[in-house]
Amino acid sequence: MKKMKLILLTLLFSASLSFAAGRPNFILIFTDDQGYADLSCFGGDHVLTPNIDRMAEEGARLTSFYVAAPLCTPSRAAMMTGCYPARIDMDVPSSITVEEVSEKPFPVCLAGDGRGLNPKELTIAEVAQSAGYKTGMFGKWHLGDQPEFLPTRQGFEEFFGIPYSHDISPKHPRNKIFEFPPLPLLEGEYVVEMNPDSDYLTRRFTERAVDFIQRHKDEPFFLYVAHALPHGPLVASPEMKKEYERKRTETGQGKKGVFSAAIYEIDWSVGEILKTLKEQGIDENTIVLFTSDNGPAKGSAKPLSGKKGKTLEGGQRVPTVIRWPERIPAGDNNKMLTAMDVLPTFAKLAGGTLPDDLVIDGKDMMPTLVDGAESPHEYFFYAHWGVLEGVRWKSWKLRIVDGKEALYNLDEDISEKKNVAANHPEIVQQLKAAMEGFEKEMRANVRPAGVVDHPVPLSMTAE
């Protein structure tokens, strides 16, 4: 059982509050390395995403939605806890130092890693569970592979998936350095397969998600679907490759290749989830949020500059669609929002408040989504590998890398091509002061990551 922190969540239910009246289901769909333009509805002509496009037409397209880091582990940790990675010591999370790769610890959790998301942190799943929601996760976790760090210790009653990226296996191109073990597939905390066929991971995670919805249609639930793709190695089921080529030829949209087929299969997955919600009669009161953990490695972030691993917009501004027919009006929303906002937003919708002594960085985004209010954030900070590199304030972004300062007006220059720092010294000084204040506050209030002595890679569970 999770520790006493669950008791800290003070619920504010009134006697008349019912599920149907105000407590929505919540589905979070998180992809891996999907760029800003890797959806048709975000301008991508190399992909075909009819289901997500329809979701965007019926919901809101969030065009200034950010993740807190341009890499898997710190981004996911921030989303799960509502905190910048630096606050929870997950900005350089791995305990494994590989000298041939970097003098610094590797920036994502690896196999047999002694570091992970601290079990003392409050997660979205624990907020949901404390409020009486059923919780399930299907897909890639990547917040620590030791038993103490698994989803089942972080508020999820059900988990079927992989503990980290599907390239962390003996087939990794740099495995002579890493010596990764076979990739484990878990059911709860038990390894049930080694080296599962990655061609079918998207399909298997989707089938479990659909089953979860069907079983819990009559009670509130939080469902987290974390796809392993389009992170490399790029794969798709043979059936979906064939279907994608047929559709591509029929519509004249999309480009040939496994990347686009993988995106098409993710879109199929979203379609299956949305279809199931309608079939079960819970479509209107279910929030579905689709987004990515960081920018692209293989795809496109156009018109943004940068990609995965960069604090340019393309590394951290991600394609995002949210749909809730009962409350959120359809249309584009360009206000600055973040993945860290998910936890406090959901906590409020679930009918609860967070502990008074819990410091988080996310904000309730419902006034912005429903009423068109301004962004709840004055500043948003960009960091990579534990190094603060930038800040956004309104339309202004200051980026400082290797001592070089660059100021951009994102409303006029979304591609970050024109450095206007020399024309606006007062804004540069304001944003530098904000970065200094942020670093000082984070250093003073960092909460430690979880640490396990003598970690071992996961292996097949004995019968």
Sorted by sequence, the CB contacts under 8 Å of residue 402 that are 6+ apart come out as none
142 is catalytic: yes
Which residues pair with residue 391 across a beta bridge?
Answer: 381, 398
* CA distances for 329 relative to 56, 333, 367, angstroms: 11, 10, 12
Backbone phi and psi for residue 7, each to the nearest 5 degrees, phi listed first:
-70, -20
Residue 379 · residue 434 · CB < 8 Å:
yes
Residue 111 and residue 459: Cα distance in Å, rounded? 11
Give the other-Cβ count within 10 Å of 49's Cβ. 28
Active-site entry in 41, 72, 83, 109: 72
Contact of 140 with 164, CB cutoff 8 Å: yes
Burial 225-255 (b: 16+ CB within 10 A, else e): bbbbbbbbebbbbeebbebbbeebeeeebbe
| Cα dihedral 33→141→361→373 (10° resolution) | 60
First CA to last CA distance, the chain: 23
The answer to whether the bond into 457 is cis (omega within 30° of 0) is: no
CA 239 – CA 243 distance, rounded (Å): 6
DSSP string across 159-191: EEEESS-TT-STT-TTHHHH---PPEEEETTEE
* SS3 (DSSP) at 249: helix
Is the bond leading into 376 cis (omega within 30 degrees of zero)?
Answer: no
Catalytic residue among 46, 83, 142, 172: 142
Q: Known catalytic residues?
A: 72, 142
